[in-house]
Chains A and B, each alone.
Chain A
Amino acid sequence: MADRIRRTKRWRKVHLVTSMFVIVFTAFFLLSGFMMIRYDLFPAGEPVRYVKTLPMTVPVSDHPEHLGKQIKHAYDLRGRMDKPIQLKDGRWHFFFARPGVTQMAIISLDHDSIQITRTEQLTVPRVVNRIHHLRGYTGGWKYLIWGVLYDMSALSLLVFALTGILMWFPMRKGYPYGWWFVGTGFGITILVILAMYFLA
């Protein structure tokens, strides 16, 4: 009995401490997830596009990644930079994105001008959607930290769910319908995965 109480207390502590660290991120992903599930209730609006051509003030180097960083700094193009692409006609194409705003820069063939296309979609549902989709570890230290926080939030979902079940289990007599709730959730999830895998 004492052992069981000790165990439950330990799971409770893991449950609590985890939630204290990542509550905001977890809340964000749950809310943004719901906004995406019911995207019909949260219209994202139409994107607005601005195009401008500016004189090229950055010396063109042979290293596209380095050139991209210089352009980003010189023209104040904020956001995560994708891998530079060389177009079929030889021009270099750079792409920078932050939630709600994307900026595409193309350097002219003679290197004397740069065309910047800025696309804004700054409605709350769109910005939230883009933040929800930020993942991975590329793009420098800012996105490395984001990647770690994202992974911690994903892991915390597992920890909340599993420690919650572990805490409920010894007290299941006090919550007699618990099996129905946990069974419904896991039953539907497993059935949907199998139905999709074998029947779709």
Chain B
Amino acid sequence: MKKKTRKKIYKYLDQVHIYGGLYCAAYLVFMGLTGLLFSHNSLIPTKFSSTTWQQAVSPAPGISHDSLITEVSRELDLFGHRPFWLQWADSTGGFHFQIMNPAANYDINLTAARDTAFVKESRKSIVNVMVGLHSSSTGEPPSWITRIWHLYAESAAIAAIVVLLISIYFWFRKSIKSKGEWLMVSGAALFSISYILFIWLIG
């Protein structure tokens, strides 16, 4: 390859590395911080402040439990995961379910007549919100906030992978020069790969 062409490619890769790195920096900081919180989960608050409120609702009569939950959630303007193991009908005909999102948990009790929802709302801390968003980068539970987050997380993850590949290229082109550095990088890489395989296969 001509020296001029190589220089041009090099300059282009450098621009992608810097701009891509700056774009995904927030994603890396966020994922690094919340990843540390997952590992030291005693730092994640588990007690939340609760309030109760009630609202009149009017779901269509005779619908399935799934549709009932969807309609009532829409009427109450709540979004979140709706764990199936936390849904049940009691002996009086009342129906109970939960809605969970990164910011709050809602315990919902529907009267037997299905005309009023009694809601216990437990608000979470900003730390819980961040930890919840770590997992919500999939875009779940669906809402406009998680959709925006999903778009950014996906594009930032792609940018981070591209930046990483360019970094490896830069290493080989200019940073790793001595035999000692080669040994250190190969040793660290070999150890990491072996350890991942060890945990997977032997566990």
Known contacts A79-B203, A98-B199, A182 near B129 by CB under 8 Å: no
Pick the contact of A200: B19, B104, B168, B203 (CB < 8 A): B104
Q: Is the CB of A98 within 8 A of B32?
A: no
How many residues in B have their beta carbons less than 8 Å from beta carbons of A?
67
Nearest residue, chain A, Cβ from B36 = A154
* Residue B39 CB within 8 A of the other chain: yes
User: Which of A16-24, A52-60, A86-94 contacts the other chain?
Assistant: A16-24
The interface stretch among A3-11, A25-33, A62-70 is A25-33
SS class, residues of chain B in contact with chain A: helix
B138 touches A161 (CB 8 A): no
Cα-based distance from A192 to B200 in the complex (angstroms): 35
What's the minimum C-beta distance from A87 to chain B, rounded to whole angstroms?
Answer: 18
A:26-42 near B, CB below 8 Å: 26-31, 33-34, 36-39
- With A30-B161, A151-B36, A164-B21 as known contacts, state yes or no: A24 contacts B188, CB within 8 Å: yes
Interface contacts beyond A37-B138, A98-B203: sample of 6 additional A-B pairs, CB < 8 Å, sorted by A: A131-B196, A150-B35, A158-B28, A161-B24, A185-B22, A196-B103
Interface residues of B (CB under 8 A from A): 15, 18-33, 35-36, 38-39, 41, 79, 101-104, 126, 129-130, 132-133, 137-138, 143, 145, 148-150, 152-154, 156-158, 160-161, 164, 167-168, 171, 175, 181, 184-185, 188-189, 192-193, 195-196, 198-203
